[in-house]
């Protein structure tokens, strides 16, 4: 066993002096910003109480997690899940407490889909009688559920899902089947080994007539010994790029019979004599999916903000090379190139935060109208949530990849924390809708709004800019103009409106030439996705500006100033990143881009004194981010060395394979091949 040569007891070491200096010179109170991110001082206090409970339990220790097999990772995650459920019951946790506990645990549990999708679906898609039967069982965890929608051959094309639910009028039952290999359910979390029940999306068939996609609750496993029920084949889909502690599964159904009452009948019903009745818009079946897309923006913030925190702390501690050859090695955070990797990522995290807050607020305010099937609201909210899920997850994954590279060679280690975050975050660009498809869905809605705007119709708030005259928006002629986020926002509106109108014109031209709609759409797909992305960036900038400006009267001027700098950097960074769109639409000229670039460089210097404090405000506990590079004390090298000593291969001085392979070659006694 390798013995420590250097001190590996980080508890005995002081906080790294470079980090101490960074925190001491911040222009604002970090705790004030933490309260904003948490939702208030009382919520921060409550989070700290839950952290003290959860992180003191050995089950939630991050030690040695990297060295577990897939099966061991799942078992550990399941243990954590059960512990949290037990504590929820013991301490009478609220729903907010449960959400915070999951956040503290960095969502490393096996059965989060039970609370994230199964329970919300029961709340939104059932009749009163069904809720009375199923919801108490789910809330008490007497049953564990998942949400089985995606199939092996179909993901985003829900209309063509192949699982069938055929009504047997004689037996008053539905018979469910996955008739082809492509129709088996594939990907649902907690399906592989954990869930006892599933809400299954299937095509309803009554007397040979199809009635569209409906939701059904199916018992998967015995409540006595957890073995699969008759007609059910279920298992884990195997190793993934990340999140291997979650048992994503497959499900095959062969003549599985369920009572008629197991169809979720909040939106549609089937009577005893086989009469189908649509009670609400069939689009309300997607309300759970929209809710998850909203939550994905929140998860994107947490993942990106945690990664920024790691990279920022490490960059303040790591000293490398020289700016002034006569001086000592400098913090790599002082290099402008490092700042240009980290600070736009930091600004993006806050933009995603403010956007997520607005989406959550809108969802909670409009939930009942969504459930009732308000068609206008459903179309609007589906478009917005599709766009924000896509753009937030795209931005997050791009920045986390750059953040990993910003750590140099050490970022390649799983112990950096960011490499693991990068792997896990990649799931968000495809889960609940692949992003390219979501942009197309958004584009389809937006083109309808463009037509409405051109005919003088009423526009909803998210597309109100389409009805504005934006031709005379002032230009960015100075650094002061670039710092005017309201002016920059107007330029985003001008760009997005013109891009959307141009995309609509191209599509309409092809239609007028006689091209069938589906061919015209396919011919213009890239243009339409580009237009949806332009709108998505506009919406992010707008939510960011409104979020920061909304704090002016409730927080200190110093904090508002710090957040305004980030808000401005975000808008200018993505303006330059999409310079082609802005120049194409004459929103910005090439010479004005030079002013945009120089203003960004000024902002990097201005953000630099507050950079660590802004990242610190995320306040993620060390055991939550699982990084030896991003701990609060900054004792990077001691933690890296201690982690290396924990590698299982170092438990012996000589690896057993030496005797099997190396020794013979070295001594010249190896048998000839």
In the chain, where the domains are located: 1-16+649-673, 19-116, 143-279, 288-615
**Residues 53, 22, 405: CA angle, nearest 5 degrees:** 80
33-52: pLDDT as tens digits: 999 999 999 999 999 999 99
Distance CA(624)–CA(70), nearest Å, equals 20
**Which residues, 6+ apart, have CB-to-CB distance to 20 below 8 Å?**
none
Count of C-beta atoms within a 10 Å radius of residue 62? 17
Give the model's confidence band at 1: pLDDT under 50 very low, under 70 low, under 90 confident, else very high.
low
d(CA 158, CA 148): 12
Q: What is the mean pLDDT of residues 239-245?
A: 88
Tens-digit pLDDT profile for residues 80-127? 999 999 999 999 999 899 889 988 887 678 898 998 889 999 998 999
Contact 168, 262 (CB under 8 A): no
The whole-number pLDDT of residue 223 equals 96
Poorest-confidence range of 308-317, 326-335, 446-455? 326-335
- Predicted confidence band of residue 249 (pLDDT cuts 50, 70, 90): very high
Contact status, residue 359 vs residue 294, Cβ threshold 8 Å:
yes
Which residues are marked as active site? 432
Q: Rounded CA gap, 211 and 229, in Å? A: 27
State how far the Cα of 608 lies from the Cα of 602, in Å rounded to an integer.
10
Nearest to 527 by CA among 508, 498, 547, 503: 503
Per-residue pLDDT, 433: 84
pLDDT range class, residue 274, cuts 50, 70, 90: very high
Q: Which architecture characterizes domain 143-279 according to CATH?
A: Beta Barrel (2.40)
User: How wide is the angle at C-alpha 396 spanned by C-alphas 353 and 66, nearest 5°?
Assistant: 110
CA pair distance 563, 571, nearest whole angstrom: 12
Beta bridge partners of 201: 215
DSSP 3-state assignment of 250?
Answer: strand
The predicted structure's pLDDT at residue 116: 87
| Mean pLDDT of the 448-457 span | 90
Note whether 19-116 and 143-279 share their fold.
no
**Taking residues 250-257, what's their average pLDDT?**
97
Phi–psi pair at 256, nearest 5 degrees: -85, 120
- Going by pLDDT thresholds of 50, 70 and 90, the confidence category of residue 526 is very high
pLDDT in tens, 529-553: 999 999 999 999 999 999 999 999 8
Question: Is the Cβ–Cβ distance between 431 and 296 less than 8 Å?
Answer: yes
| Res. 132: pLDDT tops 70 | yes
Share of the chain above pLDDT 70, in %: 97
pLDDT of 485 reads 97
- pTM for the predicted model, two decimal places: 0.91
Tell me the C-alpha distance between 304 and 395, whole Å: 9
DSSP class of residue 253 equals E
pLDDT at 659 over 80: yes
Q: According to the model, what pLDDT value does residue 479 have?
A: 95
Q: Is the dihedral of CA 167, 173, 178, 183 positive or negative?
A: positive
- What residues are designated binding site for FAD? 150, 189
Look at residue 417 in the predicted model and tell me its pLDDT.
86
Over 70: is that where the pLDDT of 64 sits? no
pLDDT band at 220, cuts 50/70/90?
very high
Q: Band of the pLDDT at 159, cuts 50, 70, 90?
A: confident
Contact 124, 283 (CB under 8 A): no
* Residue 176 contacts residue 218 (beta carbons within 8 Å): yes
Helix (H) or strand (E) holding 257: strand 256-259
Q: Are 203 and 165 in contact (CB under 8 A)?
A: yes
Q: How confident is the model at residue 282 (pLDDT cuts 50, 70, 90)?
A: low
Q: pLDDT tens across 572-598, in order?
A: 999 999 999 999 999 999 999 999 999
- Of 4 and 255, more confident: 255
- Residue 88: what pLDDT? 92
Distance from chain centroid for Cα 658: 45
Of 97, 113, 85, 96, the closest CA to residue 51 belongs to 97
Q: What is the pLDDT of residue 484?
A: 97
Which CATH number is correct for 288-615, 3.30.200.20, 1.20.140.10, 1.20.59.10, 1.10.10.410? 1.20.140.10
Is the per-residue pLDDT at 3 higher than 80? no
Average pLDDT over residues 342-371: 91
- Residue 626's pLDDT is 81
pLDDT at 673: 61
Q: Are 605 and 488 in contact (CB under 8 A)?
A: no
Element (H, E) at 202: strand 197-206
Distance CA 540, CA 525 (A): 22
Mean pLDDT of 310-327: 86
**Reduced to 3 states, what is the DSSP secondary structure of residue 166?**
strand
What CATH number was assigned to the domain covering residues 19-116? 1.10.540.10
Q: Are 151 and 185 in contact (CB under 8 A)?
A: yes
Contacts 24+ apart (CB under 8 A), 39-46: 43/96, 43/100, 44/619, 46/96, 46/97, 46/100
Q: Is the distance from CB of 463 to CB of 385 less than 8 angstroms?
A: no
R_g (Cα) of the chain, nearest Å: 27
What is the average pLDDT across 501-514?
A: 94
pLDDT, mean of residues 58-62 = 79
Q: Are 216 and 165 a contacting pair, CB within 8 Å? A: yes
pLDDT at 284: 63
Q: What share of the chain is helix, strand, coil (3-state, %, to 5)?
A: 60, 10, 30
Of the spans 229-243, 401-415, 593-607, which averages the highest pLDDT? 593-607
């Amino acid at each position: 066993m390798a013995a420590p040569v250097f001190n590996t007891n980080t508890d005995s070491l002081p906080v790294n002096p470079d980090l101490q200096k960074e925190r001491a010179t911040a222009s604002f109170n970090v705790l004030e910003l933490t309260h904003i991110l948490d939702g208030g001082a009382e919520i921060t206090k409550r989070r700290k109480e839950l952290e003290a409970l959860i992180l003191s339990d050995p089950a939630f220790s991050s030690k040695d997690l990297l060295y577990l097999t897939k099966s061991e990772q799942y078992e550990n995650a399941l243990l954590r899940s059960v512990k949290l459920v037990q504590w929820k019951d013991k301490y009478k946790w609220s729903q907010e407490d449960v959400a915070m506990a999951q956040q503290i645990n960095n969502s490393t549990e096996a059965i989060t889909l039970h609370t994230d999708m199964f329970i919300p679906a029961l709340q939104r898609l059932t009749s009163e009688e069904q809720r009375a039967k199923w919801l108490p069982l789910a809330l008490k965890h007497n049953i564990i559920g998942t949400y089985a929608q995606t199939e092996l051959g179909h993901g985003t094309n829900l209309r063509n899902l192949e699982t069938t639910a055929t009504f047997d009028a004689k037996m008053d039952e539905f018979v469910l089947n996955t008739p082809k290999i492509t129709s088996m359910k594939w990907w649902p979390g907690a399906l592989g080994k954990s869930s006892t029940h599933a809400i299954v999306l299937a095509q309803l068939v009554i007397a040979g007539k199809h009635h569209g996609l409906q939701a059904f609750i199916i018992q998967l496993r015995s409540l006595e010994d957890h073995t699969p029920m008759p007609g059910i084949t279920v298992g884990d889909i195997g190793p993934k790029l990340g999140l291997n502690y979650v048992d994503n599964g497959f499900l095959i159904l062969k003549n599985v019979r369920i009572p008629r009452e197991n169809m979720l009948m909040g939106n549609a019903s089937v009577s005893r004599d086989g009469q189908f009745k649509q009670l609400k818009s069939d689009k309300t079946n997607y309300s759970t999916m929209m809710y998850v897309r909203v939550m994905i923006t929140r998860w994107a913030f947490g993942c990106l903000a945690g990664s920024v925190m790691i990279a920022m702390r490490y960059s303040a501690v790591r000293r490398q090379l020289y700016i002034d050859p006569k001086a000592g090695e400098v913090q790599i955070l002082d290099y402008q190139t490092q700042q240009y990797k980290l600070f736009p990522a930091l600004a993006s995290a806050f933009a995603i935060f403010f956007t997520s807050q607005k989406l959550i607020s809108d969802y909670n305010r409009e939930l009942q109208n969504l459930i009732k099937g308000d068609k206008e609201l459903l179309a609007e909210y589906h478009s917005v949530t599709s766009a924000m899920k896509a753009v937030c997850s795209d931005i997050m994954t791009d920045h986390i990849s750059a953040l990993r590279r910003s750590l140099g060679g050490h970022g390649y280690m799983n112990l950096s924390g960011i490499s693991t975050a990068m792997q896990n975050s990649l799931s968000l660009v495809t889960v609940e809708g692949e992003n390219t498809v979501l942009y197309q869905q958004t584009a389809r809605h937006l083109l309808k709004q463009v037509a409405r705007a051109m005919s003088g119709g009423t526009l909803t708030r998210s597309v109100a800019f389409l009805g504005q005259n934006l031709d005379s928006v002032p230009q960015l002629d100075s650094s002061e103009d670039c710092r005017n986020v309201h002016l920059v926002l107007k330029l985003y509106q001008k760009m997005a409106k013109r891009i959307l109108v141009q995309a609509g014109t191209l599509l309409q031209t092809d239609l007028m030439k006689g091209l069938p709609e589906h061919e015209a759409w396919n011919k213009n797909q890239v243009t339409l996705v580009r237009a949806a992305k332009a709108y998505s960036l506009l919406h992010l900038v707008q939510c960011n500006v409104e979020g920061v400006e909304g704090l002016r009267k409730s927080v200190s001027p110093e904090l508002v100033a710090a957040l305004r700098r980030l808000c401005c950097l975000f808008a200018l960074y993505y303006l330059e990143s999409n310079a082609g769109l802005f120049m194409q639409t004459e929103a910005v000229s090439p010479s004005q881009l030079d002013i945009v670039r120089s203003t960004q460089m000024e902002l990097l210097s201005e953000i630099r004194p507050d950079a660590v404090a802004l990242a610190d405000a995320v306040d993620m506990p060390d055991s939550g981010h699982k990084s030896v590079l991003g701990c609060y004390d900054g004792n990077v090298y001691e933690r890296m060395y201690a982690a290396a000593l924990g590698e299982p291969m170092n438990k012996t001085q000589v690896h057993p394979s030496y005797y099997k392979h190396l020794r013979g070659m070295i001594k010249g006694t190896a048998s000839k091949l």
